[in-house]
Chains A and B, each alone.
Chain A
Amino acid sequence: EAQVTQNPRYLITVTGKKLTVTCSQNMNHEYMSWYRQDPGLGLRQIYYSMNVEVTDKGDVPEGYKVSRKEKRNFPLILESPSPNQTSLYFCASSSLSGGPYNEQFFGPGTRLTVL
């Protein structure tokens, strides 16, 4: 089944404790992206990647790191999480063939709480 998977789905952690949220897709997509969703603010893009070893900042990259060493994986790293990073996080991927019209397939989301 074609899908985007995220782990963990739920995470409660404390301020300053480094964490990684994994994202993996099995559709051979070139493009991958991370978003956070907060009430009243909609989806805000954190980082995106057009291909392996190519990453760019989205709107809210501060406090986050990403890497794209393999095509299928795009982990999101919080080196020193803070309470304002409490949010619902989505990973998404899409093919680049046909340009920007390709649908982004979203993962199920990771609900992160930083105490």
Chain B
Amino acid sequence: QKEVEQDPGPLSVPEGAIVSLNCTYSNSAFQYFMWYRQYSRKGPELLMYTYSSGNKEDGRFTAQVDKSSKYISLFIRDSQPSDSATYLCAMSADDSWGKLQFGAGTQVVVTP
């Protein structure tokens, strides 16, 4: 079983809708949680990061971490066609934070 599970999608939503993405994980040592966005034929780029539990908001993006459930989420409000991409969660532990575990990525399609 993979340490990080993520539904690959695709997830199709109409423009303006809320996109909800999530990952589950099994390693309770994970403390650092990140979301990356990857456009087709490009390298990933960091969207958001959080440490331990809690919420973080940045513009239209909200990241949530529930360590008790080993579950992280990313919400995109007022979605735009330009948000169409693959979203990958990533996480690492305190004692080896250079070693990252990525989810498989969820493909999101926002239709005009």
Binding site for B on A (CB under 8 A): 4, 31, 33, 35, 40-45, 48, 50, 56, 58-59, 90, 92, 99-101, 103-104, 106-109
**B98/A50 in contact, CB under 8 A:** yes
CA A48 to CA B100, docked complex, whole Å: 9
The residue from B90, B99, B103 contacting A56, defined by CB atoms under 8 A apart: B99
Known interface pairs A101-B32, A106-B44, A108-B43; A42-B98 also in contact (CB < 8 Å):
no
Known interface pairs A40-B104, A107-B43; A100-B32 also in contact (CB < 8 Å):
yes
The residue from A42, A107, A109 contacting B103, defined by CB atoms under 8 A apart: A42
CA A48 to CA B46, docked complex, whole Å: 18
CA A41 to CA B2, docked complex, whole Å: 9
**A56/B104 in contact, CB under 8 A:** no
**B101/A92 in contact, CB under 8 A:** no
**A104/B99 in contact, CB under 8 A:** no
* A96 and chain B: residue at smallest CB distance: B98
CA A108 to CA B39, docked complex, whole Å: 11
Q: 8 Å CB contacts to A: which residues of B77-112?
A: 88, 90, 92, 96-105
Residue B45 interfacial (CB < 8 Å): yes
**B88/A56 in contact, CB under 8 A:** no
CA A64 to CA B77, docked complex, whole Å: 41
Q: Which residues of A have CB within 8 Å of B43?
A: 4, 90, 92, 106-109
CA A106 to CA B37, docked complex, whole Å: 12
**A48/B99 in contact, CB under 8 A:** yes
* B88 and chain A: residue at smallest CB distance: A42
CA A109 to CA B40, docked complex, whole Å: 11
